[in-house]
Structure 1
Amino acid sequence: MRIASVNVNGIRAAQRRGFGTWLCVTNPDVVALQEVRCPEADLPQDAFGGYHAAYDAGARAGRNGVSVLTREPPAAVRTLLPDGYAVPVARELRPFADQGRYLEVDLADRPLTVASVYVPKGGLPAHLQKPGRMREAPDGGAAYANKMSFAAGLSRHLDRSRRAAAANGREFIVMGDFNVAHRELDVAAWRRSKQAVGFLPQERAWLEDLLSPRRLVDVVRRLHPDQPGPYTWWSWMGTSYAVDSGWRIDYHFASPGLARTATRAWVDREVDGVRMSDHSPVSVDYDF
């Protein structure tokens, strides 16, 4: 079973850059998408190929949007909106419920629950904000607090969803853009990134707490324990992509039973020599 995840940074732009070709060549059974960035009514024709798409566009036009593509219509679809959800939505996640940041489905043809998540980018805490040395205007740490609130709620929500899946005889996997690099191996220039958004000690500690051999396993790192990367994001600016000076911020976090079946993991940097997004797809083959 081949499962993939990619932040497309706009499905319309990704489609022009070869998203359809990538789908055909890679031929995944399940795909998690983030930053689809398109109202459902405006999706391009055949945007998701021949897959069935569960899609939460969110209420912010041109922002966010998560989807899970499957070969068969899913048995159930859930977002952060409270109506009909299998588990209570964590309090910290409720302000994000209409932002198109989390969606999960129960597969109809496999005992597996699949989630796609797009964690807010965040910002620097107030004590690290120095006017004149930031691209954005100082905000007193508001974006940082927003991200960490989402992160705290997501931890509880994923634990509840994983337990609910197990109670129903299902494995669980959450994939997506977590906007955090976990370890030094996950950032090419980690020494100068220690006070950068996405590699802050508090963010890394959150991921450390999220992962456990008995709860969720970082599948790609399990298969590549000592390899730098494989990186999944590179800035559009400068030469970082050309020299592979990237960040690994897109993950497959799976329940232990599913993680043990992973046999191969890779990152597709390009499609016919073209970057599909500032992120690249992360694909894993599972003997499941």
Structure 2
Amino acid sequence: MLRVASANVNGVRAAVRRGLGDWLTDRAPDVVALQEVRCAPELVPPLPGWHLSLDAGSRAGRNGVAVLSRERPSAVRTGIGNVAFADEGRYLEVDLDDAGLTVASLYLPKGDRAADGPRAEARQRRKLRFMASLARQLTGSRLAAARAGREFVVMGDFNIAHTELDLASWRTNRRSPGFLPEEREWFGSLLSPRRLVDVVRSLHPGESGPYSWWTWRGQAFANDTGWRIDYQLASPGLAARALRGGTDREPSYQARMSDHSPVLVDYAR
């Protein structure tokens, strides 16, 4: 079995204080994609037994994507081929030859509502530019992995709830960033039985959730009024090997490592 996980840790140092190391030991994944690492490589707390591949970006205390792997990667690549985002620490991929995988970690910009003013409109336009470049990157990476005899999976925080099943309060969020029609349409364009498969949705068809993000405020976590914005999108061959998976939701508000919970999938080898 191959256990693959993704987690937006909302600061890896804080996540370690809240139990990330214990979670890694308990769940024993083979590879983990991390988002919002939020620190330079030399400041990442020790994680014995793991190879860390990290693009921290150049914005201190912001962004940062990483892959933790038991296997030492044969190659590490960063960026989505758009120089406008080259220093932001939003995309990293590694080749794991023994596992037969190329694994990518993604932190997509949140964006904003254009109706909230010029600055918000500019942020949303920038998100859309990132999405266009990312779509090309994912196609290229998937095809390159296939040529090398590897499967491909991109994991992380897409900051988009694809369908009404992926957002508890979808009726009141139809004009919210992350659930705008153009974002949802773009996300759908990534998916195809021959290109990329939303693995968790394929394992939970027709179900609400399983959500992966809840605000820290109020009773959202207790009431499970969340968003499913963290995904594993896999090449068809890997997706067909999925055995079980979903959100590894903590048992209580107090046990949370982040405002996101990990997404974990077991694949047959």
Indicate yes or no: 2:131 matched with 1:151: yes
Indicate yes or no: 2:231 matched with 1:284: no
| Corresponding residue for residue 239 of structure 1 | 219
| Corresponding residue for residue 10 of structure 1 | 11
Report the TM-score, using the length of structure 2 for normalisation: 0.96
Deviation, 1:233, is 0.1
Which of the numbers 188, 199, 206 marks the counterpart of 2:186?
206
Maintained 8 Å contact 1:22/1:271? no
| Corresponding residue for residue 86 of structure 1 | none
Q: How many angstroms apart in 2 are the aligned matches of 1:240 and 1:219? A: 25
* Residues 174-217 of structure 1: per-residue CA shift (max 9 Å, x gap): 00000000000000001111001100001101101111111000
User: What secondary structure sits across from 2:223 in the alignment?
Assistant: coil
In structure 2, runs of 5+ residues without a counterpart are none
User: What secondary structure sits across from 1:238 in the alignment?
Assistant: coil
Q: How many angstroms apart in 1 are the aligned matches of 2:48 and 2:111? A: 32
| Corresponding residue for residue 166 of structure 1 | 146
| Corresponding residue for residue 134 of structure 1 | none
User: What secondary structure sits across from 2:160 in the alignment?
Assistant: coil
Maintained 8 Å contact 2:111/2:120? no
User: What secondary structure sits across from 1:241 in the alignment?
Assistant: helix
- When residues 281 and 156 of structure 1 are mapped into structure 2, their CA distance, relative to the original with a 3 A threshold, is same
Q: How many angstroms apart in 2 are the aligned matches of 1:9 and 1:3? A: 19
| Corresponding residue for residue 103 of structure 2 | 114
Which of the numbers 139, 164, 179 marks the counterpart of 1:184?
164
| Corresponding residue for residue 129 of structure 1 | 116
| Corresponding residue for residue 64 of structure 1 | 63
Q: How many angstroms apart in 2 are the aligned matches of 1:140 and 1:244? A: 28
Query: Aligned AA for 1:97?
Result: A
Deviation, 1:238, is 1.4
| Corresponding residue for residue 33 of structure 1 | 34
Maintained 8 Å contact 2:168/2:225? yes
Q: How many angstroms apart in 2 are the aligned matches of 1:49 and 1:28? A: 14
| Corresponding residue for residue 135 of structure 1 | none
Two-structure CA RMSD over aligned residues (Å): 1.3
Indicate yes or no: 2:231 matched with 1:251: yes
| Corresponding residue for residue 199 of structure 2 | 219
- When residues 235 and 109 of structure 1 are mapped into structure 2, their CA distance, relative to the original with a 3 A threshold, is same
Deviation, 1:266, is 2.4
- When residues 42 and 234 of structure 1 are mapped into structure 2, their CA distance, relative to the original with a 3 A threshold, is same
Q: Percent identity over the alignment?
A: 60
Query: Aligned AA for 1:117?
Result: L
Q: How many angstroms apart in 2 are the aligned matches of 1:139 and 1:102? A: 24
| Corresponding residue for residue 173 of structure 2 | 193
Deviation, 1:140, is 5.1
Maintained 8 Å contact 1:116/1:175? yes
Maintained 8 Å contact 1:21/1:271? no
- When residues 139 and 61 of structure 1 are mapped into structure 2, their CA distance, relative to the original with a 3 A threshold, is same
Q: How many angstroms apart in 2 are the aligned matches of 1:8 and 1:183? A: 24
User: What secondary structure sits across from 1:106 in the alignment?
Assistant: strand
Maintained 8 Å contact 1:10/1:37? yes
Q: How many angstroms apart in 2 are the aligned matches of 1:98 and 1:108? A: 27
Q: How many angstroms apart in 1 are the aligned matches of 2:40 and 2:199? A: 32
- When residues 63 and 271 of structure 1 are mapped into structure 2, their CA distance, relative to the original with a 3 A threshold, is farther
Q: How many angstroms apart in 2 are the aligned matches of 1:174 and 1:140? A: 28
Q: How many angstroms apart in 2 are the aligned matches of 1:237 and 1:250? A: 19
Q: Following superposition, which runs of at least 4 residues in structure 1 exceed 2 angstroms of deviation?
A: none
Q: How many angstroms apart in 2 are the aligned matches of 1:13 and 1:169? A: 38
